Amino acid sequence: MKRSHYERLRGSTSLTARIAAAGLLLFSLITLLLIPNIMLSSVKTKSDLINNTMGFPRSFTLENYRTVFVEDHFFRYMFNSVILSVMALASLLLIASMTAYGLSRYKFKGNNFLQVYFLLGLMFPIQLGILPIFIIIRSLGLINSLWGMILIYTANLSLPVFIFSRFFRSLPRALYESARIDGAGEFRIYAQIMVPISKPVFATVGIINFVTIWNDFFMPLVFLTGKQVRTLTLGIYQYMNNFLANWHLVFAAVTAALIPVFILFFLFTSQLVEGLTAGAVKE
């Protein structure tokens, strides 16, 4: 058995492990008390919430959700977030996989340079250039437009290209050769053979970037100042500025923003982990 050494180690550290587990349990309680509490609080009435902040709801109301979504435009924000995340993701996946395919399938002069070039974004996050980006986007007339945001998210290519490249390089060359013999064009080989077999990588890159884009705060803060284009994270932020007045409503807004990522989290934990650790350990 490959992992027998740990079987042996486990016995020898059992006391330490138990103490550690107790510590971890304490730590987990923070998360486990807070998150469900927020969700439960979202259905409390305002007076129940004030007297009974941490307890189980004594009242049940969907009025908070109605106010948040209908009167305070969270339908709009939710819609913006969904559209932005989906479109930006689609465009990022297409461009990143094509770039990575070009880099890993063909040999040409400058290939090594380009590979390193595309990695630079891992060192120098996109926020560093935000001011010139702002000026470009403004001159394109795309401030307060989801299209501008899609461009910026799509440009953030370093990690996606890296993950895709690693996968494409691992594919046997014969796969590609046999498609060529069939007379398929280069783009058809990519679209009809390579993309279908790379579904797991698309899932990995897709899920990690979906969460990043869905949760992003900085870019919307800078580029989406109009009320019509606000995303969920911005909407929640505006709510918090008027915290005491909206106190009972924030819980509903936060719950609405949490549920989609939690669903993804529980469905795709392993892809998320894969995306997080991509490139971390070289075999």
Partner 1 sequence: MTLNKRPWVGFILPGFILYTAFMILPLFTAVYYSFFKWSGLGPKIWIGLDNYKSLFQDERLSSIFRNAIGNNFKFVICALMVIMPIQLFLAYLIDLKIVFYRFFQTVIFLPYVISTTIVGFISMLVFDPNIGVINEFFKWIGWNHLISAWFGDPDRAFTLLMMVIAWQGCAAGMFIFLSNFKAIPAELIEASLMDGASKRQRFRHIILPALEPAFANNIILGTIWGLTQFDIPFVIGGTQGGIDNSIDFMNLFFYRFAFGGGYYGETSMGFGAAISVVLFMIILVIAVIQVKFFNRFNRE
For partner 1, the binding residues in 153-192 under the rule CB under 8 A are 154-158, 161, 186-187, 190
**Binding-site string for partner 1 from residue 20 to residue 49, where x marks contact by CB under 8 A and - marks none:** xx--xx-xx-xxx-xx--x-----------
Identify the three-state secondary structure at position 211.
helix
Residue 157 contacts residue 103 (beta carbons within 8 Å): no
Task: Find the shortest distance in angstroms from Cβ 60 to partner 1.
Answer: 21
CA gap 99, 89 in Å, rounded: 15
Residue 41 contacts residue 56 (beta carbons within 8 Å): no
247 is a contact residue toward partner 1 (CB under 8 A): yes
- SS3 sequence, 117-182? HHHHHHHCCHHHHHHHHHHHHHHCCCCCCHHHHHHHHHHCCHHHHHHHHHHHHHCCHHHHHHHHHC
Total number of residues binding partner 1 (CB under 8 A)?
102
- Residue by residue, DSSP assigns 3-16 as THHHHHHHHHTHHH
63 is a contact residue toward partner 1 (CB under 8 A): no
Task: Find the shortest distance in angstroms from Cβ 174 to partner 1.
Answer: 18
Task: Find the shortest distance in angstroms from Cβ 157 to partner 1.
Answer: 5
DSSP state of 229: G
Of the pair 45, 215, the CB lying nearest partner 1 is at 215
Task: Find the shortest distance in angstroms from Cβ 59 to partner 1.
Answer: 19
142 is a contact residue toward partner 1 (CB under 8 A): no
Maximum Cα interatomic distance, the chain, rounded to a whole number of Å: 74
CA gap 251, 68 in Å, rounded: 10
272 is a contact residue toward partner 1 (CB under 8 A): yes
Tokens of 196: 């279908």
* Among residues 149, 163, 205, 211, the one that binds partner 1 under rule CB under 8 A: 211
For partner 1, the binding residues in 72-111 under the rule CB under 8 A are 95-96, 98-99, 101-103, 105-106, 108
* Among residues 60, 75, 79, 265, the one that binds partner 1 under rule CB under 8 A: 265
Residue 111 contacts residue 176 (beta carbons within 8 Å): no
* Among residues 181, 183, 196, 282, the one that binds partner 1 under rule CB under 8 A: 282
196 is a contact residue toward partner 1 (CB under 8 A): no
* Among residues 70, 197, 240, 267, the one that binds partner 1 under rule CB under 8 A: 240
Task: Find the shortest distance in angstroms from Cβ 169 to partner 1.
Answer: 10
Task: Find the shortest distance in angstroms from Cβ 183 to partner 1.
Answer: 13
CB-side exposure of 60: number of CA atoms within 13 Å?
A: 0
Task: Find the shortest distance in angstroms from Cβ 72 to partner 1.
Answer: 15
217 is a contact residue toward partner 1 (CB under 8 A): yes
Report helix angle 74-105 to 243-267, nearest 10: 40
CA gap 49, 38 in Å, rounded: 11
Task: Find the shortest distance in angstroms from Cβ 20 to partner 1.
Answer: 5
* Among residues 87, 119, 191, 195, the one that binds partner 1 under rule CB under 8 A: 119
Residue 156 contacts residue 121 (beta carbons within 8 Å): yes
CA gap 92, 155 in Å, rounded: 8
270 is a contact residue toward partner 1 (CB under 8 A): no
